Homo-oligomer: A and B are copies of this chain.
């Protein structure tokens, strides 16, 4: 089959490559001509605009968007608007907020599939995990592409109606924050604790048969192998947090407590408090207030 791909960053390029490798045709566009050239080198037909990409696709167009979540998705959909009809299918493979996907599914003339994509750069070789929301017929139509982009037929599934793909991906990311923090606590304790341990070796033996083995733990093993058991000069300020924030907000909405995910998110926020945490500074002043403990001062 034939797939148009808009957005040729690292992830979009992987979609192009895997789709081509599976024997399908790809028409590719990105605002960066170099990215289009890379896709063309891989075997895709280059397009020099969204309109051009649409023209090069036949009827019953299938278009995969792999652009940054937010305004870029809406801008692309706007450009596509006059060129789509109800037999076409648009896939949003980015990290969009699920309520945006519900809204876009309603306003887009084509069928709309929101597709949560997990696996990162490693997906280039293994394929991704794809969580898809939207109409069943559209999901069925895209199945050959999903088979190619995912790890295989087991690596994609229709979760439910519009928004459900990005909803499940949002929760996936919330869990991801908590898992990273859980491993981080364990390794922090081992690092600060009473034995002089080789953490790469710990991660390795855990990855061979232990209950907590996982892909993230393989990445821990890689981290200690490449950075050293004390993680060298890796700093502790953590950026990001949008999907975790959405997950916590949805927990508030559904009245489901998510203490681990919340705590993991809070670690990120706290890591960015460059002037020190106000709450801790107040605690120091209170400790003086009731106990005359000396107030530490900044130099």
Contact = CB atoms under 8 A, between A and B. Distances in A.
Interface string A177-205: 01111111111111111111100011011
Given A190-B168, A209-B127, A212-B176, A286 B223 contact: yes
A234 B176 contact: no
Interface stretch (A38-46, A62-70, A103-111, A263-271): A263-271
Contacts of A259: 185, 259, 262-263, 266
B192 A240 contact: no
Interface in A5-40: 10
A137 interface: no
Contacts of A214: 179, 212-217
Interface residues of A, number: 129
Contacts of A248: 248, 252
A264 to B, nearest CB: 7
A296 B234 contact: yes
A142 interface: no
B167 A240 contact: no
Interface stretch (A49-57, A76-84, A85-93, A273-281): A273-281
Given A278-B187, A286-B180, A286-B220, A205 B271 contact: no
Interface string A91-107: 00000000000000000
A1 interface: no
Contacts of A239: 293, 296
B154 A174 contact: no
A254 B284 contact: no
Contacts of A265: 252, 257
A135 interface: no
Top 10 closest pairs, chain A to chain B, by CB: A184-B279, A214-B214, A257-B266, A236-B276, A219-B289, A129-B210, A178-B182, A129-B209, A175-B186, A118-B210
